[in-house]
Structure 1
Amino acid sequence: MSGTTPNSEMQYRVLGSTGERVSAIGLGGWHIALKHVDEQLAIRIVRTAIDRGITFMDNSWDYNGGVSEIRMGKALRDRYRDKVFLMTKIDGRSKKEAARQLDESLQRLQVDCIDLVQHHEILRHEDPHRVFDEEGANAAFLEAKQAGKLRYIGFTGHKDPYVHLHMLEVAAANGFKFDTVQMPLNVMDAHYRSFAKLVVPELVKQNIGVLGMKSLANGILLRSNTVTPIECLHYALNLPTSVVITGIDSIEILEQAFEAVRTFQPMNDEQVRSLLAKTAEAGSRGEFEPFKTSSIFDSTAQNPDWLGEEPQRLQQLMSA
């Protein structure tokens, strides 16, 4: 990202202890390969976002069968790769599967090195143990880092803040500290199994980069008729986030993201309380956060083979 010059339309924040400066808004990779978004529009969205100062690019190995990464790879060709901080996510829990998926992501994105690779969908209490097994995914990440294929390591999840805390504990027990952690941070989250209340303070304490996602939950939050898109983005920006990742599937939605940044002012406690009061009833049961209360958003649950094999030593234990 050496060629980046800060753009007046965008605000920049430091990504935890990495020292990297990244745009306060990140472009979500899932949306650029939805059915109503053709490849030409996807490339235009990505490049327009970069031209106007968005530097953080989100993606995942499993988004839209790999099409999201392929499109982003095409968009980042020429002079665009050096202007962004590129992130993707890997589903593999075994070392073998994680390494395979990472190499596939590198090919699709047409890069030699990805700035940040994250363990995707840490949803279950066993996930941290699988990731940190000696034959687990983090061993693959560390080898890839040594080989220059990635620079920083993080993890993501959308289900339960206690699983995030468990992941941090298991990492610490293995002498490892994450560079980033990604989670849902939105106006409903404060009222139900809240990542903002339980996980964010721990990340701030450890100086780990806070990546917010699902600020509008793919528009689902708006169906509560309690808040506007700009209010949703302002709330997420007001938290100690390094980046608020938002899905952008049109130039109009891209404009909305820039409008949110342009009009953002840090909110005082009273303003935050007033905004959260509007969502208190709607958010109390997790109804508008189905990624917490259903398995619809759990792509690894629907595709368990993406995780790879359980550790060999456990299989041997079972057969002993």
Structure 2
Amino acid sequence: MTNRPEPHSGKHTLTLAAQALSQAAERMGNDFDKAVNLLAQSAGKVVVTGVGKSAHIAAKIAATLNSTGSSAMFLHAGEALHGDLGAVQPGDVVVCLSKSGRSDEVTQLLPSLAQRGCPLVALTADPNSPLGQAASVVLDVSVPEEACPLDLAPTTSTTLQLAMGDALAVALMAANAFQAKDFAANHPAGSLGKKLTWTLASLVDPARRPAVPWDASLADVLEAMSQARYGATVVWAQDNPGQIGGIVTDGDLRRALAQGALADATAGALASPNPHTMQARELAAQAVGWMKTHSISQVVVMEGERYAGMVHLHDCLREGLG
């Protein structure tokens, strides 16, 4: 076998796509800025439309815009001609994808969009096409060739369309000062939503709240740790029961055993003082980062000054928060 990629092989396909993206980035200029401003200043929503393979790309772009703070909808150009055009309202901005800019469904749609007074952003390879001529702004998505060996099936061109849509979405995030908390509001489910929204309060089990007095015996310490299954127990302060005075972990027990100081030890003698605590309102994902950084398996959770319980690293990982 030769290391040289055969024409139209998988590697050749990716090479063409990379070249098209690089060339598009080099020629990006004022038109892109105009398109972003047009979309950012829209009083309505962004309507993303196309036909054929471009329609599939348009649907993805609309989904990305929605998740990143720009209200959008996908409208198939063919369905728009048979009633779905009613979803388009004055004040909306239309983003239309068509490599040729001459697809029948697209050209038939243009007069109706003009009647509604909707600004039009065209993603096309031909600025002189009917779509390009009707557009307020044209974004050049031309490619030297398709990866398809017949130069027919949209391949490289749809990759560039998708990337241009992502570029618009990211630029709009900056224009709209879109923050992580805004992203979280749009993604409440799944591991991503959990990382952005779940706090330690979401993981604390009030029925598992290990704690022993300062003078508790080793047997009491082991019982508290075994029942709670966190590998640790809080130790109340000697002169102020109800206030945390320390923590005993599996590691503390192993060190005491290695030093021969375990047999008659009390909880206070075994405890590590001033355990790190986190407030219940803090994000669980942040707690995971802290535990991993300090090679610690559990964190003590507080609600104000009150001991709320513990959260183990495994609790977080089980919920996809690692």
Question: TM > 0.5 between the two?
Answer: no
Q: Which has the larger radius of gyration?
A: 2
Greater RCO structure (CA 8 Å; 6+ sep): 1
* TM-score, normalised via structure 1 length: 0.26
* TM-score, normalised via structure 2 length: 0.26
